[in-house]
Amino acid sequence: MIETFIIMVVKIGVVFGVLLLVAAYMTWVERKVIAHIQVRWGPTRVGPFGLLQPVADGIKLFFKEDLIPSQVDRALFLLAPALSVIPAMIASAVIPFGGTTTLFGLLPQPIPLQITDIDVGVLYVFGITSLGVYGIVLAGWASNNKYSLLGGLRSSAQMISYELSMSLSVVGVLLLVGSLRLSEIVQAQTGFAWWLGVVPVPNWFVFSQPLGFIIFFTCALAETNRAPFDLPEAETELVAGFHSEYSSMKFAMFFMAEYANMATGSAVATTLFLGGPLGPFGPSPVWFIGKLFVLLFVFIWFRATLPRFRYDQLMTFGWKRLLPLSLVNLVATAVVASVR
């Protein structure tokens, strides 16, 4: 019993520690990638290749004066950053990032590389990640600032518009697997399938559900308020939107939540559509991390190349494009699954 508890605590510490590290260094990766796309250097002064820039940013934010405007609703104003960052962190608890390990023979029996495996893993992820919008809405409301309020309202409307399409895009995978358990979804993607009866391809659901994958990833961009769906912030319109009145570490917590949500969204897409930790030589965290960072690179690439939607375009795209496509994908998958 004690050994099980210690192993669980260690797994929680490793996963959350890695997630915090990814959230911190994604700021460096984003600056460098966008800089190279725009033929610039990006961070170069703080450490080799600017690798210590996230450390410098963290120290700066930690020691900055924490300003709380007099007109805010103080309790909600302080609660909002925590409501954003906590769901972003704990959503990763059910994601399998590898097979099993004995830590080079140190453990008496193999343990799964997953914090916990529950029967409703997919529902857990969707339920927890949807709570993050409450932090943004409360931040906009509690700031007592018209620009912040507009950002919070935009975020809630955006979440409602794209959450439905995202959920429907995943139902196709669930129909093929017949389970909500993420480990079983990964297991269902083992082996190879024959494309056109000639070319062997991994049995990942991205090949049998390409439309579902595209819809899911597009909605993940919108759910994390990333360009071209960054209407809740929209610096040129709303002066940074919902976090206009925040400073110091409370400001940093919103950015931690954004990058942690990017990592979680990419991890869920990897698990559902890209085989999770599965690779040519069996499951491994190396394959999982590699796929994860490919999707994170696409997040950054889109920000560097795509212009921001107008708000009416954002709503039209969600309700009149993605929702019908997700329904078509669902019906087609249901027909194929019933024939099988």
The per-residue pLDDT for range 14-38, each reduced to its tens digit, is 999 999 999 999 999 999 999 999 9
pLDDT attached to residue 10: 87
Tell me, what DSSP letter sits at residue 307? P
Distance from C-alpha of 296 to C-alpha of 312, rounded to nearest angstrom: 27
Highest-confidence range of 140-144, 184-188, 306-310, 311-315, by mean pLDDT?
184-188
**How many CA atoms are closer than 13 Å to the CA of 244, on its beta-carbon side?**
26
Distance from C-alpha of 336 to C-alpha of 340, rounded to nearest angstrom: 6
Q: Is 271 inside any structural domain?
A: yes
Predicted confidence band of residue 179 (pLDDT cuts 50, 70, 90): very high
For residue 70, pLDDT beyond 90 = no
Q: Is 100 inside any structural domain?
A: yes
Predicted confidence band of residue 233 (pLDDT cuts 50, 70, 90): confident
Please state the domain count of the chain: 1
pLDDT attached to residue 194: 65
**How many CA atoms are closer than 13 Å to the CA of 186, on its beta-carbon side?**
29
Residues contacting residue 179 through CB under 8 Å, at least 6 positions apart: 185, 188
For residue 94, pLDDT beyond 90 = yes
Lowest mean pLDDT among 44-58, 59-73, 102-116, 228-242: 228-242
Model's pTM, two decimal places?
A: 0.93
Distance from C-alpha of 224 to C-alpha of 22, rounded to nearest angstrom: 16
> Could you tell me how far CA 250 lies from the centroid of its own chain?
20
Tell me, what DSSP letter sits at residue 1? -
For residue 160, pLDDT beyond 80 = yes
Q: Is 23 inside any structural domain?
A: no
> Could you tell me how far CA 94 lies from the centroid of its own chain?
14
| Average pLDDT of every residue of the chain | 89
Taking Cα atoms as reference points, which of 266, 288, 285 lies closest to residue 275? 288
Predicted confidence band of residue 96 (pLDDT cuts 50, 70, 90): very high
pLDDT tens-place string over residues 306-331 = 888 888 899 999 999 999 999 999 99
Q: 37 by DSSP, 3-state: which?
A: helix
For residue 200, pLDDT beyond 80 = no
Q: Determine what percent of the chain is predicted with pLDDT higher than 70.
A: 95
Q: Is 19 inside any structural domain?
A: no
Q: Where are the beta strands (DSSP E) in the chain?
A: 100-101, 111-112, 192-195, 199-202
Q: Is 43 inside any structural domain?
A: no
For residue 283, pLDDT beyond 90 = no
Q: Is 281 inside any structural domain?
A: yes
Predicted confidence band of residue 236 (pLDDT cuts 50, 70, 90): low
Q: 287 or 99, which is more confident?
A: 287
Torsion of CA 207, 212, 218, 222, to 10 degrees: -150
Q: Is 288 inside any structural domain?
A: yes
Distance from C-alpha of 158 to C-alpha of 48, rounded to nearest angstrom: 40
Q: 41 by DSSP, 3-state: which?
A: coil
- Domain hosting 99: range is 62-185+193-339
Q: Is 53 inside any structural domain?
A: no
Predicted confidence band of residue 238 (pLDDT cuts 50, 70, 90): low
Across 89-95, average pLDDT: 92
Distance from C-alpha of 167 to C-alpha of 216, rounded to nearest angstrom: 8
pLDDT attached to residue 264: 93
Across 288-316, average pLDDT: 92
Report CA Rg, the chain.
21
pLDDT attached to residue 232: 77
Across 58-65, average pLDDT: 91
For residue 237, pLDDT beyond 70 = no
For residue 79, pLDDT beyond 90 = yes
Q: Which amino acid is at 59?
A: I
Q: Token digits for 238?
A: 């709303």
